[in-house]
Amino acid sequence: MEFLVGADGTISFLEVNTRLQVEHPVTEEVTGIDLVREMFRIADGEELGYGDPAVRGHSFEFRINGEDPGRGFLPARAP
């Protein structure tokens, strides 16, 4: 689930995705849980291998997208 929290404290719902998100390594880093392994365990009929994880530390993920403003911000071509 994705939410936005406004400066005034209002919470707005964005979306629900049932697949593994591309950002999952960030969650894995701060919880110590291998989400891919857990997905396979659940698919095999096993129960979750953990309780409520304690979040520790911080994790950042960055992505750089090359876009061409002269082409309506389409992905930039390689030189």
pLDDT tens-place values along the chain, 79 residues long: 788 899 999 999 998 888 888 888 988 988 999 999 999 999 999 998 888 888 888 888 788 888 989 989 998 877 6
Q: Nearest-CA neighbor of 50 among 28, 65, 69, 71?
A: 28
User: Full-prediction pTM beyond 0.75?
Assistant: no
Cβ neighbour number for residue 54 with a 10 Å cutoff: 8
Residue 34 to residue 49: CA distance in whole angstroms: 10
Q: E strands within 30-70?
A: 67-68
